[in-house]
Amino acid sequence: MSRPVRPLTSSAKDAAGAAAVLKDAFAADPIMRALLPGDVYENHADTLYRKHAGLAAAAGASYVLEDEAGDVKCVALWELPEAPGVVRVLPRLLGVFAWCVWTLGVRTTVRLLKFQQFMESENEKHAGIGAYKLTDIGTAKDFRGRGAGNAIMAPMLARADAERKPCFLGSSNPRNLTFYKRLGFEVVAEAYPLKDWPDLEGDGPVMTFMYRAVPPSDDASDDPGAARPASGAEGRD
């Protein structure tokens, strides 16, 4: 049994619960392991996800699902089509940057920034600036197979449809593509974000980008989400 899906808040409890779920969900993710190699992931991923959850909560576009005891079991972090007010997120953003440099070091921080820049570029290329972007989603091991993924995605997809906004995501786990396709996402590109990085062999892990158009309205010519931007028409990098 679970409680209804609700918005992620800025409380310490929500941040800790979301971080625990995401750290476990991405423990074997090849891109995260490359960005945070060796013991760095085990030692610092929890704090990094706490800070990321705090930023997402401040933006007001993320959700959690709890069990009957009130423990977070599933989380989905989204970015808004329009950036939230600078005053709302700038202090947190600066805090995350300072923590990364101080704790993870300059080299790892630069890697994280380069990866973030890559993701933003792909988002703009294939979805434009008007899409909701799913940045992270995870479910606790003991809660998988219960429909938590569908439940945690439903509020934002409904919001996007009501606002006539498309959605966009990048997945580093090929096993998740079928799940996203059932929700209306289509594959639009594949890319290798870590290709040619120092001390990494080959192209590195693949990232699959997916786009979800809003259902067409009666007048499709007035529907900005009915089709992808022309800049992403070729699909594969």
What are 96-120's pLDDT values in tens digits?
778 788 888 888 888 888 888 888 8
| Token pair for 107 | 């080299």
Q: What is the largest CA-CA distance in the chain?
A: 54
Please give the mean pLDDT across all residues of the chain.
85
Which has the minimum average pLDDT: 36-40, 158-162, 214-218? 214-218
Residue 148: per-residue pLDDT:
96
What are 32-65's pLDDT values in tens digits?
988 888 899 999 999 999 988 988 898 888 999 9
C-alpha pair distances (Å), 115 with each of 123, 149, 192: 12, 25, 11
pLDDT band at 68 (very low <50, low <70, confident <90, very high): very high
Q: Which of 213, 226, 74 is nearest to 148 (CA)?
A: 74
pLDDT band at 233 (very low <50, low <70, confident <90, very high): very low
CB 22 within 8 A of CB 74: no
Q: Residue 232 pLDDT > 60, yes or no?
A: no
Q: What is the 3-state secondary structure (H, E, C) of 177-235?
A: HHHHHHCCCEEEEEECCCCCCCCCCCCCCCEEEEEECCCCCCCHHHCCCCCCCHHHCCC
Which residue pairs, CB below 8 angstroms and at least 24 apart, start in 152-158? Answer: 152/5, 152/63, 152/64, 152/65, 152/74, 152/75, 152/76, 153/76, 153/183, 154/5, 155/5, 155/63, 156/61, 156/63, 156/76, 156/78, 156/132, 157/183, 157/184, 157/212
Q: Residue 85 pLDDT > 50, yes or no?
A: no
